[in-house]
């Protein structure tokens, strides 16, 4: 655990002699992955928790499922916000931990400053007046890594960890996603018992039968014991990240579900009722539940000119249904590490629905902020188009609308906006309210307009009056 870019994944790379970081978008681990190694004939499973601040909840899940934590602190950067946050998660989970002071190979590494930072954060190291084990390492060169692994074996030996292979298997959900080819897949850590292929499995939110069981190398296996990471295929619904699972008979699972019913929490509640105009409406999709949770948290923490409102949130590709929903609610579609179906893409283009996507969460945040800046300014006088009457006669057409912010004067020039884009301009030729000609109309009035424009106007568009003096 630790701050972003402090070398957690690079450390794991060195330990496994593989290249995980190069396969991660942006070099940042964006979903909890669990990896097993063998060191001095002992198996060690690493849960590599993401370092970006958006994943605070996922890091907490990682701490709760772990037997031991490694808090990685870069010697050239010291204790940072996510370092403190990770430390709090470790302390809340009440698990032992060791400190890895990383990047000692860098020219600007300052180990003494890092020690002072840790002490200021409440961490007293061995040899510095405390009892927290620590090791200087370079995840890049491998210096000190063997000694760190020795610390792990020593610490876990003192914990006297045991499990019962005969009891029904139980553990924790680490990842959950909808695979277009394989269906629902869940990454899990086995905490107790023996996980077997063909067994019934359940969480608070999902249940099923294990059709396929894969180890962390992707090999199909018949059974796994703690603390093995595994991929389970066979859930009928998406389990939620961080919740426990139980394997057993139908009766055992029923008891498990009944006793834990009060702990069930809904991850997302789709918006209902009317939506205030001063909101940024969103339909969000991601590749898995953990990513979805992180995406929602990121959006909620963005500095936006208006409050975000989640019209819907789900796992899987962006579909026609998502686009139709976004179109009817004038929402932005946001996709994180997911794809858009071809039919959905065509529909989005035809109805001018904006879709933004990225495999990197902080890039999505920037795109959402850019989108929000382009939205119709709330202080600009405007009319919402409610109806189009008859066919256009040359450049003239009759439009019905409601004054959102006024007053609006007869003979004014206007801009035509569809969503976040200005698509044209025109002029009011005649203004009516209550079927009578009027010189102006105030906010809340419904009006009829004879307008002159060479551009298309559709129901749902806005006519903006930003430049006229009133």
DSSP-assigned states of every residue in 237-271: SPPPTT-EEEES-HHHHHHHHHHTGGG---S----
pLDDT given at position 43: 87
Among the residue ranges 49-63, 142-156, 225-239, 338-352, the one predicted with the least confidence is: 49-63
With tokens 């093995």, the residue in question is 228
pLDDT given at position 266: 37
Contact 382, 464 (CB under 8 A): yes
- For the chain, the average pLDDT equals 84
Q: How far apart are CA 356 and CA 334, in angstroms?
A: 5
Residue 72 pLDDT grade (very low, low, confident, very high; cuts 50, 70, 90): very high
pLDDT given at position 94: 83
> How many beta carbons lie within 10 A of that of residue 224, not counting itself?
24
Q: Is the pLDDT of residue 103 over 90?
A: yes
Mean pLDDT of 182-188: 87
29 bridge partner residues? none
Q: How far apart are CA 175 and CA 172, in angstroms?
A: 9
Q: Is the pLDDT of residue 383 over 90?
A: yes
Q: In the chain, what are the domain boundaries?
A: 8-159, 170-263, 279-374, 381-465
Residue 65 pLDDT grade (very low, low, confident, very high; cuts 50, 70, 90): confident
Same CATH topology for 170-263 and 279-374? Answer: no
Mean pLDDT of 244-267: 69
pLDDT given at position 129: 85
* 287 HSE (CA, 13 A, CB side): 15
| Greatest alpha-carbon span in the chain | 90
Q: How far apart are CA 339 and CA 74, in angstroms?
A: 35
Residue of 348, 465, 381, 468 lying closest to 416 (CA atoms) = 465
pLDDT given at position 233: 93
Mean pLDDT of 251-280: 55
Residue of 366, 269, 371 lying closest to 311 (CA atoms) = 269
- The 10 Å CB-count burial string (b at 16+, else e) for 325-340 is bbbeeebbbbbbbbeb
pLDDT given at position 378: 59
What's the pTM? 0.62
Residue 19 pLDDT grade (very low, low, confident, very high; cuts 50, 70, 90): very low
With tokens 């040359």, the residue in question is 394
More confident residue, 26 or 409: 409
Q: Does the domain spanning 8-159 belong to CATH 3.40.50.720?
A: no
Mean pLDDT of 191-197: 92
Residues 6 or more apart in contact with residue 464 via CB below 8 angstroms:
376, 380, 381, 382, 414, 415, 416, 417, 422
Residue of 121, 56, 46, 129 lying closest to 84 (CA atoms) = 121
Mean pLDDT of 315-334: 87
3-class secondary-structure state, position 310? strand
Q: Is the pLDDT of residue 283 over 90?
A: yes
Q: Is the pLDDT of residue 274 over 50?
A: no
Q: How far apart are CA 218 and CA 416, in angstroms?
A: 54
Among the residue ranges 249-263, 299-313, 410-424, the one predicted with the least confidence is: 249-263
DSSP-assigned states of every residue in 383-452: EEEEEEEEEEETTEEEEEEEEEE--EETT-EEEEEETTEEEEEEEEEEEEETTEE-SEE-TT-EEEEEEE
More confident residue, 32 or 316: 316
With tokens 């692994």, the residue in question is 149
Residues 6 or more apart in contact with residue 29 via CB below 8 angstroms:
8, 9, 20, 21, 48, 49, 50, 51
Among the residue ranges 12-26, 287-301, 389-403, 408-422, the one predicted with the least confidence is: 12-26
Contact 8, 1 (CB under 8 A): yes
Q: Is the pLDDT of residue 388 over 60?
A: yes
Q: Pick one of 3.50.50.60, 3.40.50.360, 2.40.30.10, 3.40.50.150 as the CATH number of 170-263.
A: 2.40.30.10
Burial class (CB in 10 A: 0-12, 13-18, 19+), 245: buried
Q: Two tokens at 395?
A: 């450049």
- For residue 88, the surrounding DSSP H or E stretch is helix 81-93
Residues 6 or more apart in contact with residue 16 via CB below 8 angstroms:
35, 37
Burial class (CB in 10 A: 0-12, 13-18, 19+), 360: middle
Q: What confidence tens digit (pLDDT) does each residue in 331-347 have?
A: 899 999 999 989 899 99
132 bridge partner residues? 125
With tokens 């001095």, the residue in question is 40
Q: Supply the CATH classification number for the domain 381-465.
A: 2.40.30.10
- For residue 58, the surrounding DSSP H or E stretch is helix 56-65
Contact 99, 130 (CB under 8 A): no
pLDDT given at position 470: 40
Q: How far apart are CA 168 and CA 362, in angstroms?
A: 41
Looking at domain 279-374, which CATH architecture does it have?
3-Layer(aba) Sandwich (3.40)
Mean pLDDT of 268-276: 38
% of the chain at pLDDT higher than 90:
35
Say how many residues make up the chain. 470
Q: Is the pLDDT of residue 407 over 70?
A: yes
Mean pLDDT of 88-111: 90
% of the chain at pLDDT higher than 70:
87
pLDDT given at position 355: 95
Residue 63 pLDDT grade (very low, low, confident, very high; cuts 50, 70, 90): low
Contact 98, 144 (CB under 8 A): no
Q: What angle do CA 3, 8, 10 make, to 5 degrees?
A: 135
- The 10 Å CB-count burial string (b at 16+, else e) for 60-95 is bbbbebbebbbbbbbbbbbbbebbbbbbbbbeebeb
Mean pLDDT of 419-428: 84
3-class secondary-structure state, position 192? strand
Q: What confidence tens digit (pLDDT) does each residue in 210-233 have?
A: 999 988 778 899 999 888 888 899
């Amino acid at each position: 655990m630790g701050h972003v870019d402090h070398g957690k994944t690079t450390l794991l790379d060195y330990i496994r002699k593989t290249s995980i970081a190069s396969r991660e978008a942006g070099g940042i681990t964006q979903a909890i992955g669990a990896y097993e190694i063998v060191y001095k004939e002992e198996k060690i499973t690493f849960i590599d928790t993401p370092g970006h601040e958006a994943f605070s909840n996922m890091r907490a899940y990682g701490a709760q499922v772990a037997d031991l934590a490694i808090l990685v602190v870069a010697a050239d950067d010291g204790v940072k916000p996510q370092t403190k946050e990770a430390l709090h998660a470790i302390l809340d989970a009440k698990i032992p931990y060791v400190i890895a002071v990383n990047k000692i190979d860098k020219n600007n590494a300052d180990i003494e400053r890092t020690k002072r930072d840790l002490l200021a954060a409440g961490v007293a190291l061995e040899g510095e007046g405390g009892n927290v084990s620590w090791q200087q390492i370079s995840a890049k060169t491998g210096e000190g890594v063997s000694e760190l692994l020795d610390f792990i074996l020593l610490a876990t030996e003192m914990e006297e960890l045991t499990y019962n292979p005969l009891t029904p298997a139980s553990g924790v959900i680490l990842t959950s996603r909808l695979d277009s080819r394989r269906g629902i897949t869940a990454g899990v850590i086995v905490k107790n018992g023996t996980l077997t292929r063909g067994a019934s499995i359940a969480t608070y939110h999902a249940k099923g039968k294990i059709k396929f069981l894969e180890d962390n190398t992707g090999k199909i296996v018949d059974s796994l014991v703690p603390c093995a990471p595994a991929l389970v295929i066979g859930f009928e619904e998406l389990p939620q990240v961080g919740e426990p699972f139980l394997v057993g008979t139908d009766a055992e699972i029923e008891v498990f579900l009944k006793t834990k019913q009060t702990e069930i929490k809904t991850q997302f509640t789709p918006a209902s009722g009317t939506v205030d105009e001063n909101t940024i409406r969103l339909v969000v999709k991601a590749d898995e539940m953990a990513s979805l949770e992180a995406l929602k948290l990121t959006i909620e923490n963005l500095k936006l000119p208006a409050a975000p409102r989640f019209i819907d949130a789900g796992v899987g590709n962006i579909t026609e249904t998502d686009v139709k929903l976004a179109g009817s609610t004038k929402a932005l579609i946001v996709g994180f590490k997911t794809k858009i179906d071809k039919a959905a893409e065509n529909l989005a283009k035809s109805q001018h629905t904006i879709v933004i996507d990225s495999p990197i969460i902080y890039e999505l945040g920037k795109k959402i902020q850019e989108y929000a800046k382009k939205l119709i300014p709330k202080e600009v006088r405007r009319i919402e188009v409610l109806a189009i009457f008859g066919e256009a006669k040359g450049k003239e057409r009759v439009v019905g609308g409601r004054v959102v912010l006024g007053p609006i004067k007869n003979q004014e020039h206007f801009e035509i906006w569809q969503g976040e884009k200005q698509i044209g301009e025109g002029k009011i030729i005649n203004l009516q309210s209550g079927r009578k000609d009027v010189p102006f109309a105030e906010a809340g009035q419904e009006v009829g307009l004879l307008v002159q424009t060479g551009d298309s106007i559709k129901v749902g568009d806005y006519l903006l009056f930003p430049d006229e003096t009133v």
